[in-house]
Chains A and B, each alone.
Chain A
Amino acid sequence: MAAPSRSLHELAGPLARRAVPSRLRHPLQLARTSVLGRWRRSIQLRVVSATVVLGVIVVLVVGQLLLQRITAGVVASRQEQVIAQSHEDFINTRNGIVTPSGEANRDIYTRVHDIINSLAAPADRPTRYVILERALGNTSVGDVPDYSSAGIDRMAIPDELRQAVVHNRGERQEAQVFTTELDGRSVPVIAVGGLLDLGSAAGGRYELYLVYSLQREVQVVDVVRRTFIFGGIALVLLVGAVAWVVTRQVVAPVAQAARTAEQLASGRLDRRMRVRGDDELARLGRAFNEMAASLERQIHRLEELSRVQRRFVSDVSHELRTPLTTLRMAGEVMYEARHTFEPALGRSAELLQAQLDRFEALLADLLEVSRFDAGAAVLETEAVDLCELVEQVMEDLRPLAERRGTPVELIVGPGSTVADVDPRRVERIVRNLVGNAIEHSESEPVQVRIAGDEGAVAVAVRDHGVGLRQADLSMVFNRFWRADPARARTTGGTGLGLAIALEDAHLHGGWLQVWGEPRQGANFRLTLPRRVGAPLTVSPLPLVPWDAGRGKGAVAVVTTSDGTAVVTSLAEFTGDHAGDGSAAGRRRSTGAGTVEARP
């Protein structure tokens, strides 16, 4: 059993090898593990084994009982037969021995000898043996010597029987079964004994025993036993085979159902069970198939629905693009010529131009969001120096910063800042964070920090503007959420920027987290693993800036890549262990991956 299992492991390749370091194990141990494994996995094996074990027990017990009964019956019937036969012989013998008075001892001896010889069968094929013995307690010395047939020891008669014979005064004979040596072989025998009175002259009372071999009965019982053994083995095998067949009939469909269910679960929705006949298992198969079919229909319907919707959003966006392009160009031409228009027309051209920009940005963001919703967003990673990327973004945003009068400074921390990321997405995140910071900076300086450690690179964007209220922290990543509805419309942005940034960060397996306090500004921290998919545990940068008011019971909100939100007190955040939340309670967030936190 070990061999196929091992070859299976080898077939499965490095994965299996990693899971089961079987090659290091002793073959015996491997075999045991494999048998144990089969035992645990296979109902069939368990049922068949249990059936066989029970069958063996039943066969043993019943066989033993039957054998005993049969042996007893055979012996008893032989005994009856022997006693009946012996009875006659004893009467004849007694009659023949009745001594006419005055007969010479010598004659008695001869007569007795003749009778006894006639009792014993021919010596070459003895069916019974004869033993003549002076009775217990007979001390007289007579002419008749003790006698025994050839092949049997005169002393073979057990004392028990002799006592019984001696004390039985009647005409009845005593019989007993015992084992003795006959012709040098130990065989069970039955001995029938009776008293013989030869008369005081001839030596008084003698015990006469007729000993019958039970060899034939033993042989019969042996044949029966052998038959029982063969029958028992056959029966056990039959029972085992029946159990195997039955369980196979039951287990095979169940195993097939399990296999099919696994395939269904792995997404192969067209998999079905083979159904034969009309029995319970066929019903199970049909029910299973119906379930699978209904599941497939549902999923296809949902897929179709989702596909149609995705397609619709995509089509709408694409369809809008062509007229928007025309609009855009027309607007541009008018915008370029606005100085030649009268003031109202000129201003209109300006407004048209600005709103077309916004419309275009909104359309692009909507398309991006629909791509995320459809699960169609794909990472195209390459090794990127995030420091260069951040510098480029800051350069691009310089005009905006200058318009706002906001100095933006870059603080490069320790560690390499190269990571495998999708530069387009990361640039979009950083552009969004820095742009937002400038927008909300109220002309206070904005600091962009960047640092790396072994497993991650982090970018933190800190502004000292109006800041965020506790209640807002849980909302900033929501779609179309605006910090201050009354004010925000004047600043650009589609309201989708942070939502997209969060999706982009999650796509990398990274974190996008926010800290904020009213009138103290905000700090957005992006942490990206150096390699996509590598788990993040710590960020190289603290989420709560050093200049934030400490000890006020402020609470930070952390959003981790798996959607688990960690709520913890500010004190926990002065260290770098933002994400692990070991000292804090974890709970699953319901929204876009953020959670509200209270002091």
Chain B
Amino acid sequence: MKGRVLVVDDDTALAEMLGIVLRGEGFDTSFCGDGAQALEVFRGTRPDLVLLDVMLPGRDGIEVCRQIRAESGVPIVMLTAKTDTVDVVLGLESGADDYVVKPFKPKELVARVRARLRRTDEPAPEALEVGDLTIDVAGHSVRRDGQVIGLTPLEFDLLVALARKPWQVFTREVLLEQVWGYRHAADTRLVNVHVQRLRSKVERDPERPEIVVTVRGVGYKAGPA
């Protein structure tokens, strides 16, 4: 079993087709066609990943995303027909880890889903330190003064990627490849939005970051500049 995927989409044909493709790749699937019931179904099925259509009857996909994120760090991949900046950024800010734009190719979707589930591979025990943070890679936890900071798996991956090489400045493209698994240049807004989300959790003052530092014109690095 490679993982359970919850497909939240009101378009039954698309949902069914997604099911065919995902099952063909060895995933388990469950479905929900109504935004209002999505949270309930999510609690019932406890999926490893959620595929969420932004346009939903009952409740907006972005709202659903926010609700799921409020109680779980489960990877969320948005399906969107909109490429307009505002919508994409809004989706990402509501907590989605990644998004695919309709019409997508099945391979593209599967690659995105795999990239989000890839992290379930057992990592070697490893302890990292950035600033006053302690990261237990195997235990998936980040602590400050013994206090656990709750991060989503994606945010955790992002922090670990940066913390492993604190001497290196990561371009957004490199982070996209390492954390999101994109092979080709993709939307660098993904990185910007998630760095903001990460900072809001790990920085003492997100306005003046000390853990994830922006290197102007290049990208990001961990620790002091």
Taking beta carbons and an 8 Å cutoff, which residues of A are in contact with B?
318, 321-330, 332-333, 360, 363, 367, 378, 380, 383, 392
Q: Which 10 pairs from chain A and chain B are nearest by CB?
A: A321-B102, A325-B103, A321-B81, A324-B103, A318-B81, A325-B102, A326-B14, A329-B17, A332-B106, A328-B103
How distant is the Cα of A321 from the Cα of B54 in the complex, in angstroms? 13
Contact B11 A322 (CB under 8 A): yes
Name A323's closest neighbour in chain B (CB-CB). Answer: B13
**Quick check: is B208 within 8 A (CB to CB) of the other chain?**
no
A322 — which chain B residues lie within 8 A by C-beta? 11, 14, 81, 102
In the bound complex, what is the Cα–Cα distance between A119 and B23 (angstroms)? Answer: 149
Q: Give every chain B residue within 8 A of A360 (Cβ-Cβ).
A: 103
Asked if A326 contacts B11 (CB within 8 A), the reply is yes
In whole angstroms, what is the CA distance A42 to B102 when docked? 62
Cβ of B103: which chain A residues have Cβ within 8 Å of it?
321, 324-325, 327-328, 360, 363
* Structural contact, B106 and A329, CB atoms closer than 8 A: yes
A330 to B106, CA, bound (A): 9
List the A side residues contacting B79 at CB < 8 Å. 325
The closest CB in chain B to the CB of A389 belongs to B185
Given A321-B103, A326-B17, A332-B106, 16 other A-B residues pairs in contact with their CB atoms under 8 A: A318-B82, A322-B14, A322-B102, A323-B11, A323-B14, A324-B102, A325-B14, A325-B102, A325-B104, A328-B104, A328-B105, A329-B20, A329-B106, A367-B83, A378-B85, A380-B85
Give the distance in Å from the alpha carbon of A377 to the alpha carbon of B87 in the complex: 15
Q: Which residues does chain A contribute within 8 Å of B20, judged by CB atoms?
A: 329, 333
Q: Contact partner of A392 among B24, B83, B185, CB < 8 A?
A: B185
* Beta-carbon nearest neighbor of A359 in chain B: B103
A-B interface contact total, Cβ < 8 Å: 53
Q: Most chain-A CB neighbours within 10 Å: which of B18, B81, B83?
A: B81
In this assembly, does B21 line the interface, its C-beta being within 8 Å of a C-beta of chain A?
Answer: yes
Per-residue CB contact flags for chain B residues 18-49 toward chain A (1 = under 8 Å, else 0) read 10110010000000000000000000000000
Asked whether A333 lies within 8 Å of B11 as measured between CB atoms, the reply is: no
C-alpha spacing A322/B102, complex, angstroms: 7
Q: Which of A324, A326, A328, A383 has the most CB of B within 10 A?
A: A326
Say whether B105 contacts A332, CB under 8 Å: yes
Chain B contributes a number of interface residues (CB within 8 A of A) equal to 22
> What B residues does A318 contact at CB under 8 A?
55, 81-82
Residues of B within 8 A of A378 (CB): 85
Complex Cα distance A56/B105, Å? 91
Distance in angstroms between the alpha carbons of A94 and B25 in the assembled complex: 156
What are the residues of chain B within 8 A of A330 when measuring CB–CB? 17
* Docked pose: A328 CA to B13 CA in angstroms: 12
A543 to B104, CA, bound (A): 39
Assembled-state Cα–Cα distance A383/B105 (Å): 32
**Can you list 13 A-B contacts with CB-CB less than 8 angstroms, sorted by A residue number?**
A321-B102, A323-B14, A324-B103, A325-B14, A326-B14, A329-B105, A329-B106, A330-B17, A332-B106, A360-B103, A363-B103, A378-B85, A380-B85
Q: Determine whether the beta carbon of A326 is less than 8 Å from that of B105.
A: no
Closest to B53 in A: A322
Chain B residues numbered 72-119 whose CB sits less than 8 Å from any CB in chain A: 79, 81-83, 85, 102-107
Q: How far is the CA of A120 from the CA of B146 in the complex (A)?
A: 131
CB distance from A344 to the nearest CB of B (A): 23
Report how far A190 CA is from B104 CA in the complex, Å: 121
Separation of A363 and B81 alpha carbons in the complex (Å): 12
CB distance from B84 to the nearest CB of A (A): 8
Report which of B21, B81, B104 forms a contact with A333, defined as CB distance below 8 A. B21
Bound together, the chains give a CA A87 to CA B217 distance in angstroms of 118
CA distance A328 to B102 in the complex (A): 10
Whose C-beta in chain B lies nearest to the C-beta of A396? B184
Measured in the bound complex, the distance between the Cα atoms of B217 and A341 in whole Å is 53
Bound-complex Cα distance A326 to B106 (A): 10
Q: Are B217 and A383 in contact (CB under 8 A)?
A: yes
Cβ of B102 and Cβ of A333 under 8 Å apart?
no
- A319's closest neighbor in chain B, by CB? B81
Please name the residue on chain A nearest to B184 by beta carbon.
Answer: A396
Q: Shortest Cβ distance from A320 into chain B, in angstroms?
A: 9
Q: Which of A325, A329, A360, A367 counts the most chain B CB atoms within 10 A?
A: A325
CA of A322 to CA of B100, assembled, Å:
12
Greatest chain A CB density within 10 A among B79, B82, B83, B106 is at B106
CA distance A332 to B217 in the complex (A): 40
B185 / chain A contacts, CB cutoff of 8 Å: 392
Question: Which residues does chain A contribute within 8 Å of B105, judged by CB atoms?
Answer: 328-329, 332
- What is the CA–CA distance of A360 and B108 in the complex, to the nearest angstrom? 15
- Determine which residue in A322, A330, A333, A383 has the highest number of CB atoms from chain B within 10 A of its CB, and name it: A322
Smallest CB–CB gap between B103 and chain A, Å?
Answer: 4
A380 to B30 alpha-carbon distance, docked (Å): 39
Cβ contacts under 8 Å, A327 to chain B: 103
Residues of A within 8 A of B104 (CB): 325, 328
CB of B173 to closest CB in A, whole Å:
10
**Chain B, Cβ-Cβ closest to A371:** B84
From residue B62, how far is it (CB to closest CB) to chain A in Å? 16
Chain A residues with CB under 8 Å of B85's CB are: 378, 380
**Chain B residues, Cβ within 8 Å of A324:** 102-103
Which residues of B have CB within 8 Å of A380? 85
CA distance A279 to B21 in the complex (A): 78
Question: Which B-chain residue is minimally distant from A364 (CB atoms)?
Answer: B83
> A318 vs B103: C-alpha distance in the bound complex, in angstroms?
10
Which B residue's beta carbon lies closest to that of A367? B83
Give CA–CA (A321, B100) in the complex, Å.
12
A330, A363, A378 — most chain B CB neighbours (10 Å) = A330
B217 touches A333 (CB 8 A): no
Given A321-B103, A322-B11, A380-B85, are A329 and B18 also a contact pair (CB < 8 Å)? yes
Q: Determine the residue in chain B with the shortest Cβ distance to A322.
A: B11
> Which residues of the partner chain A approach B107 to less than 8 Å between Cβ atoms?
332
- How far apart sit A333 and B55, CA to CA, in the bound complex (Å)? 25
Question: In the complex, what residues of A have CB within 8 A of residue B81's CB?
Answer: 318, 321-322
Known: A318-B82, A380-B85. A333 touches B13 (CB 8 A): no
Q: Smallest Cβ distance from A440 to chain B, in angstroms?
A: 26
**Cα distance A363–B102 when bound, in Å?**
11
Residues of B within 8 A of A323 (CB): 11, 13-14
Task: Give bound CA distance, A322 to B81, whole Å.
Answer: 7
Task: Name the residue of chain A whose CB is nearest to the CB of B79.
Answer: A325
Min C-beta distance of A316 to chain B, whole Å: 11
In Å, the complex CA distance between A586 and B14 comes to 55
* Nearest chain A residue, comparing its CB with the CB of B16: A326
Give the complex CA separation of A328 and B24 in angstroms. 16
**A-chain residues with CB within 8 Å of residue B55 when the two chains form the complex:** 318
What 1/0 flags go to B102-142 for Cβ under 8 Å of A? 11111100000000000000000000000000000000000
